Structure 1
């Protein structure tokens, strides 16, 4: 899909490298499971079924998990008007627009293709941001759609999900195993091996996805700010959202943290300190510094 968003060759290269490396890990993972479980049919059915479900129903799963629904122009005229303007400016198809009725101020884009994309905004975000700030956030999310990194992240995250599910299944099957002692010992050893392979695969995919996620957020900030011509508005939105998220109850943050890689800003409390290696997003200061530099380059009048 060709749009007026500038092509980001570094982002494209990073996505291709990440998918290639995850593909190698995925192939080794499947081969190890076939050797351990000794049933290629079972492994292929499990892996293929989960990949199909995650890819084909990713938008529905995300909206359901966040308690969101598709919003009509009559229901949310302000939101649709902003999306219409941005899509016209970017010369791209308009994604479906959804609303999540939650106080957590955030937004995300999802979908298996640019034609099936969904742009979701929380009521908490709309209530807190001025129109120009909201426009900056939505331009950021539309950049994810235009550059197809939403699709790449959906596919890339599959391996970690699969490894995590298999490790959990193996753990519980070991707890409830029965039969003769020798059979139990053999089963327990097999379960340990499957869990060990799954944990290694999950760790590798975890790090690769987070490395890609941090860069894609910087790329979306840059592309969204260039589209609107107002880096300062996006910086203001980032500052507001990050500060307000820190005041959201920890319990509510935990329910949303599974979607951090897709959010505009990560759902983290003020007391959370994560290594940059493990974070899905660059630091707030890193993002603000980039926007300040971009504002100077564009000659923006603040």
Structure 2
């Protein structure tokens, strides 16, 4: 495919050729945070299986195999390497729940966005109004909300519920975008991706891992708010690189690399490199801004932002080996 970006080097930055699209990503993507893993990952994985089974979610077709392919406890371990076993379990359960919820929403929404409304209404009623659940998925959400209220302060739990509602609302935007013929540009894609990233609901859990609540001044500090946006964007765009092959084959629209491919009329490989450049710039801005604001932050504030950095680090190490995205290793680095 011809492209205006033929000058993009589809090899390692030093000119060394690479074999697969995954190797190409690894060669260009800059993740400055060291690999870390929580020592309680095995227990968390067993806990996730028991939790999903207890709420009947693995009885539903395809859920058990999806969990095997996505390894939610592994992602939780990489993201939250330093937290205690109880908090790690909540993180792992929440990741598993969001994987189930997101896949269900995608399956339903691709037929008609309107068909999503009962599912979304139930979630909002649970999160906002404390209404009783009507479905197994709703019951799992209600239990997750209970776990958060028991572990977190009331203010942290309120932030968790509000940010979880934002995620739920975002899925309707995704369904509308998937259902209509307009080809989303990169900016449109990132706007929707920021809504459905599902990362911000975990920030109150990052806060709960600290010895005390963040002060209002730190929580609402413009730099801390910006760091949250940068972390969430980088964390969700990184899996987009590794899932681009899978999403392209499935006709997916909401993917950063595929948006660059549509916008620039280029090969998938060139589009991935363009997306990597965008991610690298985001991660670099995160590092520079953190270094600038760190002297102003308390130990709690620093730990909170380090939890955000964990999302960037964790999503990279999880995405490159998780079975769900294994197709990326089968595509050559040069089209």
Decide: shared fold, TM above 0.5: no
Q: Larger radius of gyration, structure 1 or 2?
A: 1
Q: Using CA pairs below 8 Å that are at least 6 residues apart, which structure has the higher relative contact order?
A: 2
More helix per residue: 2
Provide TM-score, normalisation by structure 2.
0.27
More strand per residue: 1
